[in-house]
Amino acid sequence: MANIKNQKFIALDISGKNYLSWVLDVKLHLSVKKLKHTIDEDNAASNEERVTALIFLRHHIDDDLKYEYLTVENSLELWQNLNDRFEHLKAVVLPKALNDWSQLRFQDFEIVS
């Protein structure tokens, strides 16, 4: 990750441990750039918009993931491939996080405001 200085947020890790926050960041940044429609099904994006979104996505994924998806030339296809690979984390990570949050105890404090 030599280009980390130029990134707007943390790149998607090859393990996918930051996938949920990465998806949100990507959607927000693509919305700001008016390119979010390039990752939607049945979009009518121009070739220039697709390439711009693809460059943005590739810039914000781990280098090993870049090499793995080197032949993908469409932003929607890359988005779907990453979604297929890491979507299961919502079923694993999110319930655990919600459970941890519900079990959180403020043992060291008498009053919590």
Residues 37 and 58 sit within 8 Å (Cβ to Cβ): no
pLDDT at residue 26, as a whole number: 92
- Residue 34 falls inside a structural domain: yes
Angle at 24 between CA 60 and CA 96, to 5 degrees: 110
- Residue 82 falls inside a structural domain: yes
- Residue 100 falls inside a structural domain: no
Paired tokens of 108: 């060291």
pLDDT at residue 113, as a whole number: 60
Q: Looking at the 3D structure of the chain, how many domains does it have?
A: 1
- Residue 65 falls inside a structural domain: yes
pLDDT at residue 110, as a whole number: 64
Strand partners, 27: none
- List, for the chain, all residue ranges whose pLDDT scores fall below the cut of 70: 1-7, 105-113
